[in-house]
Amino acid sequence: MIGPICLALPLVLGAAQDAKPFTSPEGRFSVMMPSEPTKKEQQVKTATGELKVTLWIAEGKADSYFVVSYSDFPAKGFKKGDEDKRLDQACKGAVDSARGKLRGEEKAIKLDGKHPGREIAIEKDGEIIARMRVYLVDQRLYQVMVLGNGPFFATKDQDVGAFLDSFRLVK
């Protein structure tokens, strides 16, 4: 269901010490980006209908991309208690879209101690190509991810962690 969102990322498409704060008032988030991000919007067909997806994409060093995307599920198709199912679908869609496989376990996490999420690493040909966190905040799905290649993740993993850790909700 969420897979097409991640599949489109390579088509639209730093170091921690170079990172600068970025805030999206309409997205209701802030994050440290390695460069000035570019905004992209697209419509994605899902099992529950069309979703508008907004992406903020910043180019990092060594052919890496730092991305925050969000989309809002329609109220009519959203049921309380489906949060785990939606997060699992988002992670599976990301792995499938990358034509990769999950490296390690899908880890349950929380944003601000209350919003459910998942953290995953995706590998292809034995190397990590993406690390991401997915959060569900009410009816909004956030995907916070870094796309790159194995050597990038081997040398810049600290920067990746700093980016993922910097994601915050704003009012």
Q: With pLDDT > 70 as the criterion, what percentage of the chain qualifies?
A: 88
- 10 has a pLDDT exceeding 60: no
- 40 has a pLDDT exceeding 90: yes
| Whole-angstrom distance, CA of residue 1 vs CA of residue 99 | 15
Determine the distance from the C-alpha atom of residue 158 to the mean position of all C-alpha atoms in its chain, rounded to a whole number: 17
| Whole-angstrom distance, CA of residue 88 vs CA of residue 33 | 26
pTM of the model: 0.86
Tokens read off for 161: 């962690």
Contact, 51 vs 44, CB < 8 A?
yes
| pLDDT tens-digit series, residues 49-94 | 788 999 999 999 888 999 999 999 887 766 777 888 889 988 998 9
| pLDDT tens-digit series, residues 17-32 | 578 999 999 999 999 9
Tokens read off for 61: 């060093």
Domains of the chain (ranges; CATH) run 3-169 (3.40.1000.10)
**What's the mean pLDDT in 163-170?**
97
